[in-house]
Structure 1
Amino acid sequence: MTAPLTSPIPLADPGVYRTLLESTRAIPWRIDWATMRFTYIGPQIEELLGWSPSSWLSVNDWADRIHEEDRQKTVDYCVAQSQQGIDHEADYRALTRDGDHVWIRDVVHVVRGEVGSVDSLVGFMFDITARKHSEDKILQLQRELEVLSYRDSLTNVANRRMFDTLYPVEWAKARVTAEPLSIVVIDIDYFKQYNDHYGHMQGDECLRRVAQALDAGASRSRDLCARLGGEEFVLLLPATDEEAARNVAERCRKLLGQSAIPHARSGVGRLVTVSMGVGTIVPGAEDNPDVFMDRIDRRLYQAKSAGRDRICDAEA
């Protein structure tokens, strides 16, 4: 019987375990709980962060090398979990010796003594920088998609979804603060005839230019210009009384007039015009936002019935 070519490695040999640990990308470490000092940290730490293993003496060295924005919450969490004897994980930014930072995931195991008290902490540090960058990119894309979901892709102003989201919020604020809330509903006059004459591509350009004028007219940061659909738009004007709302509507009509968009098939002139319904309310406990919107829609209909190219801010 021939002898084996190699002898089995005695796995009980501590040197073997150390070789295995130090050949991985994960960085092993051990802290003595009584003294709060490192009794071991893998040499891989120097390649990752630039700090030599000999410079990791106590938990203070670990804490000082955590990014200041992550330091307190990370230290507090790890200490609390360790005191309770709970294994845990923590993600944080570790400072490198040259002033940069690396994302670390620290996986911690609590070792108990014979009487059940905490004896030591052992764990592994993992470099998760690439994963974090990927996650950040995904979150950024999700935020961009969320913004796009609230924006009308044709006109680049807010869409119906945005208005439906913000309207009840501004209504509730106005009710609490007893400030007036105004809404302007706008409809482009004879837009079907515009499309029939100029074509839908030119019609889309017309919608974009009208939206631009309306958005410029509602110029405060809290004001919202949204496209409700088709050729209909809305202005949501928080903290705006009747006179100010009328002024905003007039300013929008003036800006649209300055755009001078030709409309050969209009029944009120040779340029694109709009009809507007305007309403203002200080919401009370008995008021209903849907009823208020219906009132403004009726005023828009009145403006159109009265000949278009005008503003209606009162009931007939």
Structure 2
Amino acid sequence: MNSTGKHNAPLGADFLRHDSAPAAAGVEGYMEHDAAVYRTLLESTKAIPWKIDWATLAFSYIGPQIEALLGWAPSSWKTVQDWAARMHPEDRDKVVEFCVAQSKAGTDHEADYRALTSRGEYVWLRDVVHVVRDANGEVESLVGFMFDISERKKTEEKLAELQRELEALSFKDGLTGVGNRREFDAVLQREWSAAQRHAAPLSLIMADIDFFKSYNDYYGHVQGDACLKRVAAVLSEAVRPGDFVGRFGGEEFVLILPNTGADAARQVVERCRDRLSAEEIAHERSPFRQTVTASFGVGTLIPAAEADPVAFVNLVDSQLYLAKDNGRDCIAAVNRVG
């Protein structure tokens, strides 16, 4: 029975012959004779066979397996409109346009999409389509198979999620949880390019924990690691949404402030100092109130076309060392805007 309620033509002769060249009489007779065998083979597979008449865009056949998978009776698949209507809205336009274009061109093709079930859920399908031409080379019909690829898609999604998690981990400092040097390089390049395009100011802050070697020597490396984590948390809480905090190496941290002028950058770094002071992390070997402090180097510029981000980092780094030379627990800044 086909989708319109009429009996299908013998499946062996009609469905399986994909070319339009006349078959030898003996072969044709053999296929007609064993049409029931071919139908049984087709309808016993998990793949769902179907055929569409190109002139009418109507289904002349769809396998009964479709009802077991999606819940829609074969008789409900009348035209390609039924096929499109039962496709996920996010997939529909792209898949329909692709399949129509490939079919008009007479090109065999495949398409993955989510199909709606009668229960209101979605199942991932892969349609493998073969274009049948007539003796004049014109498109006569489309024949193909639908495959349930839901489990494959679930596996792919799990792998993709694991890949995203691995990528995220590869951009994070294992100790402090803030960005690592690799992420810093990527973010700086991205924000540098954006600042060049929009002629916008970009600010960079480098921070170094004062007398950290003495801290490690006195408290031990385990406590030193805990100190690094607390400083990283303080800096992360002090910045604004869209700013970047990373560990540059050792006890040195770096902050990237997109679209930020010198005055705003100064406010951010002052907030970092204030919050670190309020944290009151004990440091018996520090001359500054015996608590952990940091020195800061700050730089602001609008990147010119010939400017080099590495040179900018070196410039800010020199400001950091200037702050340390000036007694630590202070800020040194340079502004190349205006």
Is the aligned partner of 1:58 residue 2:79? Answer: yes
1:275 is matched with which residue: 265, 278, 295?
A: 295
Q: Is the 8 A contact 1:91 1:104 kept in 2?
A: yes
Quote the residue 1:172 is aligned against. Answer: 193
Q: Is the 8 A contact 2:203 2:301 kept in 1?
A: yes
State the Cα distance separating 1:314 from its structure 2 match: 4.8
Residue deviations 1:148-206 (CA, integer Å, cap 9, x gap): 11111211111111111111222222233232211111100111111111111111110
Quote the residue 2:261 is aligned against. Answer: 241
SS of 2:115's partner is strand
Farther-moved stretch of structure 1 (71-80 vs 175-184): 175-184
Quote the residue 1:125 is aligned against. Answer: 146
1:37 is matched with which residue: 58, 79, 83?
A: 58
55 and 302 in structure 1: CA distance in 2 versus 1, 3 angstrom threshold: same
State the Cα distance separating 1:300 from its structure 2 match: 1.1
Quote the residue 2:17 is aligned against. Answer: none
SS of 2:112's partner is strand
Farther-moved stretch of structure 1 (172-181 vs 117-126): 172-181
Structure 2: distance between partners of 1:163 and 1:147 = 13
Farther-moved stretch of structure 1 (166-175 vs 41-50): 166-175
| Amino acid in the other structure paired with 2:231 | V
1:231 is matched with which residue: 218, 230, 251?
A: 251
Structure 1 residues 59-74: aligned runs within 5 Å: 59-74=80-95
Structure 2: distance between partners of 1:288 and 1:236 = 16
| Amino acid in the other structure paired with 1:68 | P
Runs ≥4 in structure 1, deviation > 3 angstroms? 9-12
Quote the residue 2:203 is aligned against. Answer: 182
188 and 14 in structure 1: CA distance in 2 versus 1, 3 angstrom threshold: same
Quote the residue 2:36 is aligned against. Answer: 15
| Amino acid in the other structure paired with 2:311 | V
Quote the residue 2:22 is aligned against. Answer: none
Quote the residue 2:304 is aligned against. Answer: 284
Structure 2: distance between partners of 1:314 and 1:114 = 78
Structure 1: distance between partners of 2:115 and 2:45 = 19
Farther-moved stretch of structure 1 (285-294 vs 252-261): 285-294
Query: What percent identity do the matched residue pairs reach?
Result: 58
1:90 is matched with which residue: 107, 111, 114?
A: 111
SS of 1:313's partner is strand
Q: Is the 8 A contact 2:206 2:317 kept in 1?
A: yes
State the Cα distance separating 1:268 from its structure 2 match: 3.1
Structure 2: distance between partners of 1:167 and 1:101 = 42
Residue deviations 1:31-68 (CA, integer Å, cap 9, x gap): 11222211111111100000111111111111111111
Q: Is the 8 A contact 1:190 1:267 kept in 2?
A: no
- CA-based RMSD: 1.7
* Structure 2 unmatched runs, 5+: 1-29
For these two proteins, the number of residue pairs brought into alignment is 306
Farther-moved stretch of structure 1 (48-57 vs 286-295): 286-295
State the Cα distance separating 1:243 from its structure 2 match: 1.9
SS of 2:173's partner is coil
Q: Is the 8 A contact 2:203 2:300 kept in 1?
A: yes
Residue deviations 1:70-102 (CA, integer Å, cap 9, x gap): 111111111111111111111111111121111
Is the aligned partner of 1:265 residue 2:296? Answer: no
Quote the residue 1:112 is aligned against. Answer: 133
Structure 2: distance between partners of 1:82 and 1:48 = 25
133 and 314 in structure 1: CA distance in 2 versus 1, 3 angstrom threshold: closer
Q: Is the 8 A contact 2:300 2:334 kept in 1?
A: no
SS of 2:175's partner is coil
Quote the residue 2:161 is aligned against. Answer: 140
Structure 2: distance between partners of 1:153 and 1:130 = 34
Is the aligned partner of 1:294 residue 2:314? Answer: yes
Please give the TM-score of this superposition, normalised by the length of structure 2.
0.87
Quote the residue 2:98 is aligned against. Answer: 77
State the Cα distance separating 1:119 from its structure 2 match: 1.7
2:175 is matched with which residue: 123, 139, 154?
A: 154
Please give the TM-score of this superposition, normalised by the length of structure 1.
0.92
Structure 2: distance between partners of 1:27 and 1:267 = 79
Quote the residue 2:221 is aligned against. Answer: 200
Quote the residue 2:18 is aligned against. Answer: none
Structure 1: distance between partners of 2:324 and 2:102 = 69
Quote the residue 2:231 is aligned against. Answer: 210
